[in-house]
Structure 1
């Protein structure tokens, strides 16, 4: 429970931080002198929610009762379902088949790249630890 609460706060703060950085970039480099307050609040809430569930959903990987492919599928489907609910509700992606499929394809591509990068990283870390244990 402590891990869930800690990750929740980290994710929400990170989502809020991303919103502030993005808004500052729009103002400084995008030619915007003012932002629409209600739009800012709506996007902030969406970003905070995304930060929260992206951070908390990685806890699937800590469940030793699940196989790696189950952890990966649960993580991916949890993220995608929640993201589509938030993104369509807020208006980040239009509610059309074409935009939903395009977003899904891009998400699968990005998720796959990140998954393999983390997999290779942790596999390398395990190899290093095993090598160190053999030297003892």
Structure 2
């Protein structure tokens, strides 16, 4: 439970940080005014996204599940929550073409990030095993 709360706070803060950076870049690009309701809606969306992307990684800490099951549960959780949030907030227009395009983008990024994390942790495990073999 403590781990869930820590990740929740970190995810919400990270989402808020990304929102501030993006809002700052919009302001620096010459936009003089921001619609407060759009700002608030997007801020909540970014914080919720940060929250569910960070807490859903807890699936990977379940030692009773295979890596395939952990990945599938994580993938299903984040894709459902993200697309529901994106459609409700208006980040993605509610039509098939937009959905399929964003699904492809989502799958591409998910695959890239999953592969990077997999290779990183595989490398870490190899280093630990090499150190243990030296003892």
1:10-89 pair list within 5 angstroms:
10-29=10-29, 31-89=30-88
Runs of 4+ with deviation above 2 angstroms: none
TM-score normalised per structure 1: 0.97
Query: How many Å apart are 1:121 and its aligned residue?
Result: 0.8
Is 2:87 the counterpart of 1:112?
Answer: no
- 1:103 alignment partner in structure 2: 102
TM-score normalised per structure 2: 0.98
2:63 match: secondary structure: coil
Query: How many Å apart are 1:90 and its aligned residue?
Result: 0.4
Distance 1:43 1:127 in 2: 41
Query: How many Å apart are 1:11 and its aligned residue?
Result: 0.3
Distance 1:110 1:16 in 2: 21
Aligned length: 135
Deviations 1:56-80 (A, max 9, x none): 0000000111110110011011001
Distance 1:84 1:120 in 2: 27
Query: How many Å apart are 1:101 and its aligned residue?
Result: 1.0
Structure 2: runs of 5 or more not aligned: none
Distance 1:102 1:74 in 2: 22
Structure 1: runs of 5 or more not aligned: none
Distance 1:131 1:65 in 2: 25
Instruction: Give RMSD over aligned pairs.
Output: 0.6
Deviations 1:21-40 (A, max 9, x none): 100110012x2011000000
